[in-house]
A = this chain, B = another copy of it.
Amino acid sequence: MTEKIVRFLDEVRPATPCLVVDLDVVGENYDRLTEALPDSRVFYAVKANPAPEILRLLVARGSCFDTASVPEIQACLDAGATPDRISYGNTIKKAADVRRAFELGVRLYAFDSEAELDKIALNAPGSRVFCRILTSGEGADWPLSRKFGCDVAMARELLLAAAKKDVVPYGVSFHVGSQQRDVGQWDLALAQTATLFRELEEQGVVLRMVNLGGGFPTRYRKDVPTSAQYGEAIDAALRRHFGNRIPETIVEPGRGMVGNAGIIRSEVVLISRKSANDDRRWVFLDIGKFGGLAETMDEAIQYPIVTERGGDAEPVILAGPTCDSADVLYEKSDYRLPVDLRIGDKVDILATGAYTTTYSAVNFNGFAPLAAYYI
């Protein structure tokens, strides 16, 4: 909660719920990450928050962009990014979308399957491609399924195949899992990657780039390592596994770039108990799972929550305002709010700059999508 946000909320008193993002914090996050990883290029994961204000700030800072779709590519171009600063990082693309990205000038593409490689060779000839490998995702708070990536043996075959098609086999990517709090996770993935680099070189295919993915966390309720600690761990792992032949590296921070820059201001709609002897109060806010807080699914991401009230706190169940019984935010994670909290009180949900606005449902229960202010 920065002074700038406090002042904005005091002066403008926006209708709730709304997200307020302090752009200065985004700038600081960018600077801190580039200091921590001076030899890596930053590709901001646009999906975390595609607001034009954020994209323009990062364009001016010199950032590159990791995109998931043609509209995201277009948003980066509109914000002033040249296409050589844009990666089409989704491994699941329609052929027509690859063609459109190519027309827009994008020349860097992710893939993890033969079919996708063929699409790229056909629709974006001559482009650089990188193959995503599967990692375990241990230590990450947001679930990482096996959806993206292939195993290393298949990656080797695919990159060899790429060398025979009209694309440039350029590198390897992995993702250690979103909100990764274990800096050691990059080591394991880099060990596999370095082996893959050597095996391919023996067969005449020289890769140039390792995409270290995202995973850089935001501080929610638990402490997280600093950018500098991530930088040191990654640097050490690169030296350990690549020796004096460290490849070009890129990182794709999303949450780590914008998460702590935003807060959602909400209002208490109702406080109730289910029976006379109910041991916990239910606190219903004017925002829930379908209004932008989708990452509370299974209580995975636990946002810090603050109110203006002091005094004793007691355990509560937090829920959203929709007529959907799945719209409960926190029931098992020991959230406590002041005993004297009242209906109509403001409640601030911190560190909500990432994965909120765009996750918001378009019209569920008649509620409008999350309003947002970038200051």
Contacts and interface: CB of A to CB of B under 8 A. Distances in A.
Interface string A132-151: 00100100001111111111
B359 A145 contact: no
Nearest to A112: B272
Interface in A141-177: 142-151, 153-154, 157
A26 B91 CA distance: 39
When all copies of this chain in the complex are counted, the total is: 2
Given A70-B366, A71-B367, A366-B67, A146 B93 contact: no
Q: How large is the interface on A (under 10, 10 to 19, 20 to 34, 35 or more residues)?
A: 35 or more
Interface stretch (A182-190, A198-206, A230-238, A325-333): A325-333
A4 interface: no
B275 A154 contact: yes
A267 to B, nearest CB: 7
B284 A92 contact: yes
Contact of A323 (B68, B153, B319, B360): B68
Interface string A60-75: 0000000111111001
Contact of A94 (B72, B153, B154, B267): B267
Given A144-B325, A145-B325, A269 B363 contact: no
Given A269-B92, A270-B116, A323 B47 contact: yes
Interface in A270-289: 270-276, 282, 284, 286
A361 B360 contact: yes
Contacts of A321: 90, 92
B150 A274 contact: yes
Contacts of A367: 69, 71
B274 A154 contact: yes
A262 interface: no
B322 A297 contact: no
26 contacts: A47-B324, A47-B365, A50-B366, A68-B366, A69-B365, A71-B363, A71-B368, A72-B365, A90-B323, A90-B365, A93-B270, A94-B267, A113-B273, A115-B272, A116-B272, A142-B325, A145-B325, A147-B282, A147-B319, A150-B274, A153-B276, A154-B276, A358-B363, A358-B364, A360-B362, A361-B362
Task: Pick the 6 closest A-B CB pairs, nearest first.
Answer: A113-B272, A71-B366, A69-B366, A72-B366, A68-B365, A151-B275
Interface of A: 45-47, 50, 67-72, 75, 89-95, 112-116, 134, 137, 142-151, 153-154, 157, 178, 267, 269-276, 282, 284, 286, 290, 294, 297, 319, 321-328, 331, 343-344, 357-369
Given A71-B363, A115-B272, 10 more contacts: A68-B322, A91-B270, A92-B269, A144-B325, A154-B273, A154-B276, A358-B363, A359-B361, A361-B361, A362-B362
